[in-house]
Amino acid sequence: MKIIPNKENTESLIELWSDVFGDEREYIELLFPYGESVCDIFAEFDGDKIISALYLLDCTLNFGGVQYMGKYLYAAATDKKYRGKGIMASLINEAKEYCKNTGLDYISLVPANEGLYNYYKKFGFISAMHRTTVSGASDIQATKSEISGEEYFTERQMRLENSLNFSGSSVGYVISCLEYSGMKFYRSSIGRMFMTEGDSILTDELIDGKNAVRFLFDNEISEENISTEKFGMLYPINSELKRDWSIYDLYMNIALD
């Protein structure tokens, strides 16, 4: 069922999240100050205890010059004692119906491991997103100035074509998660933007014009250093969205997986 966070069920949600994913409480609590405004929460109870839950964050899909509104399905978790009973399947189907009834265009997600791609296929999700990794780039951080996460995400959304971005009230939460992990945001002297963990020379994402890639090492670039991998799935709702998605159609790199 769709729930509204309150003092009692928030504690139960945090306990479930911690037990399943092992994250620090301080990190988990980043979600709940935003609570009602940042996401929709679907959960199943056993008495007063939440035994399964998932979260839907606001996101936008820019494709073919059109912006589509949707949700990012996140942190789906079931207490290990209750698994294998179809509880999560019921929550996913309820979330899908909710998104249809509220006029959204799609649901997206990034499976935490390869096996979950097959699990989500059962619910109509398609491998439709990618990230490109470049294993080296010289001087990409030559002259840089730190910018806010809000500035980075605002420009990211405006610049990138055929991509999926967090939007609306979810952006503040996503930025807080990245900053908790030590991520910082920069602009170079030639207008490139990038984010990296602290002062590391390893760049997690570089935006140059309307393109974005991940840089891992500080080497010379050659064709052998460039690779594209699937990174995320899409459940189309809007009939105007295509039905034969390829992983090369949409870019996504920032994910709360």
Provide the pLDDT for residue 140. Answer: 67
Provide the pLDDT for residue 124. Answer: 96
Please list the ranges in the chain whose pLDDT falls under 70: 34-37, 137-142, 217-223, 257
Provide the pLDDT for residue 253. Answer: 92
Q: Which CATH architecture has domain 2-127?
A: 3-Layer(aba) Sandwich (3.40)
Domain boundaries, the chain: 2-127, 131-230
Provide the pLDDT for residue 141. Answer: 65
3 state SS for the chain: CEECCCHHHHHHHHHHHHHHHCCCHHHHCCCCCCHHHHEEEEEEEECCEEEEEEEEEEEEEEECCEEEEEEEEEEEEECHHHCCCCHHHHHHHHHHHHHHHCCCCEEEECCCCHHHHHHHHCCCCEECEEEEEECCCCCCCCCEEEECHHHHHHHHHHHCCCEEEECCCHHHHHHHHHHHCCEEEEEECCCCEEEEECCCCCEEEEEECCEEEEECCCCCCCHHHEEEEECCEEEECCCCCCCCCCCCCEECCCCCC
